[in-house]
Amino acid sequence: MDNVVSRELLDQVIAISVRAGEAILEVYNASGEIEVDTKSDDSPVTAADLAAHKILAPALEKLVPGVPVLSEEGEMPSYDQRGKWARYWIIDPLDGTKEFIRRNGEFTVNVALIENGEPVLGVVHVPVLDITYAGAKSLGAIKRDTTGELPISVRAMRPRLDAKQPIEVVASRSHGAGAVDTLLARIEGSLGETGLKNMGSSLKLCLVAEGAADLYPRLAPTCEWDTAAAQAVVEAAGGIVVDDQFELLRYNQKEALLNPFFYVIGDRSFDWKSLLLV
């Protein structure tokens, strides 16, 4: 099939992601404590993770026949096998399991389509808020909520600097705080006041995509399914996601599924490189 991503395909993926979110909410809204198991890598997993996976994986396999699905909650093929994939889905059925267990609402359903290492379509659905961020190469990015759908885009740095407005940085609620504090001090020394927002899951990238934050430094480990969907949204909104060498973050390039540290940048024309790489 033609590899150009259509709006029809994006809408279909949104609908599948919303269904997965509904399955998550059934567990989330049930009375009593959420039962938690521990996987071999010591990460938590719940019935909601598995319920979302059971909706997403078969639906995506049927949506585009012949395109494999790589899921955090599925079987992990060897790199000898998946390294041959030019096109595949990568999904995190419930990104932010720790936030889900805390019942703070900051968790998402992540679905991305990867072509030759690049995320070309992404959907990030927030079940508790019934908000969906979505985007695709050549289609732009959108935010959909109960009131409708709006296009979203990253914001420029220069007007904020000229108006002496704080540079908004978003960071993980749980990881890498010391390194982020050091970076914030450096940014403040160069650009002036900063504001810090702490948040879980892929929502951090989506804040950059919709122009509510300027920078998200991730200076702690993540896996490829944590970032691919939101990276597609950020890039469709005009931003960029680069690794700690300022190279574009790419997927399925090595045996390990761990990402390098990375930066999510809204205004790609601003010289962040000289400030972040020291």
pLDDT given at position 180: 87
Average pLDDT, integer, range 175-189: 84
Shared domain for 64 and 12, answered yes or no, is yes
Average pLDDT, integer, range 117-128: 98
Shared domain for 210 and 93, answered yes or no, is no
pLDDT given at position 199: 87
pLDDT given at position 175: 56
Q: How far apart are CA 235 and CA 257, in angstroms?
A: 21
**Is 275 annotated among the ligand-binding residues?**
no
Shared domain for 58 and 119, answered yes or no, is yes
- In-domain check, residue 108: yes
Residue 69, domain CATH: 3.30.540.10
User: What does the DSSP 8-state code read for residue 70?
Assistant: E
Phi, psi of 20 (to 5 degrees): -65, -40
Q: In the structure, what pLDDT confidence band is assigned to residue 33 with cuts at 50, 70 and 90?
A: confident
Shared domain for 56 and 122, answered yes or no, is yes
**Is 226 annotated among the ligand-binding residues?**
yes
* End residue of a domain, out of 152, 173, 208: 152
Shared domain for 128 and 209, answered yes or no, is no
Shared domain for 169 and 216, answered yes or no, is yes
Shared domain for 177 and 260, answered yes or no, is yes
**Is 96 annotated among the ligand-binding residues?**
yes
pLDDT given at position 150: 98
pLDDT given at position 272: 96
- In-domain check, residue 98: yes
Q: How far apart are CA 237 and CA 206, in angstroms?
A: 10
Residue 200, domain CATH: 3.40.190.80
- In-domain check, residue 211: yes
pLDDT given at position 3: 64
- In-domain check, residue 2: no
Are the beta carbons of 18 and 123 closer than 8 angstroms?
A: no
- In-domain check, residue 1: no
**Is 267 annotated among the ligand-binding residues?**
no
Shared domain for 121 and 221, answered yes or no, is no
pLDDT given at position 1: 41
Helices (H) and strands (E) in the chain, counts: 9, 14
Interval 128-160: pLDDT, tens? 999 999 999 989 999 999 999 999 999 999 999
Give the number of other CB atoms < 10 A from CB of residue 12: 16
Q: Which residue has the tokens 């039962």?
A: 35
Shared domain for 60 and 87, answered yes or no, is yes
**Is 108 annotated among the ligand-binding residues?**
no
Instruction: Please count the structural domains in the chain.
Output: 2
Please give the structure tokens belonging to residue 235: 């890039």
Average pLDDT for the chain: 93
Question: What percentage of residues in the chain have a pLDDT greater than 70?
Answer: 97
Shared domain for 174 and 270, answered yes or no, is yes
Q: How far apart are CA 184 and CA 195, in angstroms?
A: 9
Structural domain including 254 reads 158-276
pTM listed for this prediction: 0.95
- In-domain check, residue 91: yes
* End residue of a domain, out of 134, 152, 170: 152
Shared domain for 192 and 140, answered yes or no, is no
Q: How far apart are CA 180 and CA 47, in angstroms?
A: 33
**Is 72 annotated among the ligand-binding residues?**
yes
pLDDT given at position 173: 65
* End residue of a domain, out of 152, 173, 201: 152
Interval 49-86: pLDDT, tens? 999 999 999 999 999 999 999 999 999 999 999 999 99
Shared domain for 78 and 110, answered yes or no, is yes
Interval 194-249: pLDDT, tens? 999 988 889 999 999 999 999 999 998 999 999 999 999 999 999 999 999 999 99
- In-domain check, residue 187: yes
pLDDT given at position 29: 93
pLDDT given at position 237: 98
Are the beta carbons of 152 and 141 closer than 8 angstroms?
A: yes
